[in-house]
Amino acid sequence: MAVERTLSIIKPDAVAKNVIGEIETRFEKAGLKIVAMKMVQLSQEKAEGFYAEHKERPFFGALVEFMTSGPVVVQVLEGEGAILKNRELMGATNPKEADAGTIRADFADSIDANAVHGSDSATSAEREVAYFFSAEEICAR
Ligand code: IDP
C-alpha cells in the first residue's frame, strides 16, 4: 500500500475535554506518524473555507460556529494507507453509529461535536493539507 498523507483535526470538543494525548496515541499505535501539527483558533472565514463543500447543507452555520468555538489541533498524519486508516480509527460521523473502540465512539458526544475530522479521499487530503500547511511546515521523519 502506498504511503499517504492526510489531514486530521482534533475538534474543539475533544480539545476542551483534554483528550488530545489519548487521540494522538490511537494514531501512533496504528502506525501513523504526525509530520506536521499546530493548535489554532479558526476564524469564521477559515472554517467556512475549509467546509465550503457543505455550504448549502442545513447544518453549515452550526458546523462553522462549533469549529470556531475553541482551539483545534490541525495535523498531517503520514503512513501506509493513511487516509482510510485514519477514517477507520475515527469511526462513523454520527458517534451513535460508530464502531466500539473508535475515536468517535469513545470521545464524541453528538454528530455536531464529533471529536475529529479526517480527509475522506486523496483529493480532499491534498486540498486540506495545503489549506493549513505550507510544504516547509511538513517534516520528513
Ligand atoms: P465526516 O466528518 O465524517 O467526514 P461529513 O459528512 O464530511 O463527515 O460532515 C462534516 C462534518 O459536518 C461532520 O463531521 C459533522 O461535524 C458535521 N455534520 C455532518 N452531518 C451532519 C448533520 O446531519 N447534522 C449536524 N452536523 C453534521
Does position 1 have pLDDT exceeding 90, yes or no? no
Q: Please state, for a pLDDT cut of 90, what percent of the chain lies above it.
A: 99
pLDDT tens for residues 72-103? 999 999 999 999 999 999 999 999 999 999 99
Helices and strands (H, E) in the chain, number of each type: 7, 4
Strands of 116-118's sheet in order across: 33-40, 72-80, 3-10, 116-118
Q: Which set of grid coordinates corresponds to residue 117?
A: 475530522
The whole-chain average pLDDT of the chain stands at 98
Which pTM value belongs to this model? 0.98
> Ligand 1, closest atom to CA 120?
4
CB of 105 shorter than 6 A to ligand 1: no
As for the ipTM of the complex, it is 0.96
The pLDDT value recorded for residue 138 is 98
The pLDDT value recorded for residue 22 is 98
The residue whose CA is least distant from atom 26 of ligand 1 is: 112
- Answer yes or no: 117 catalytic: yes
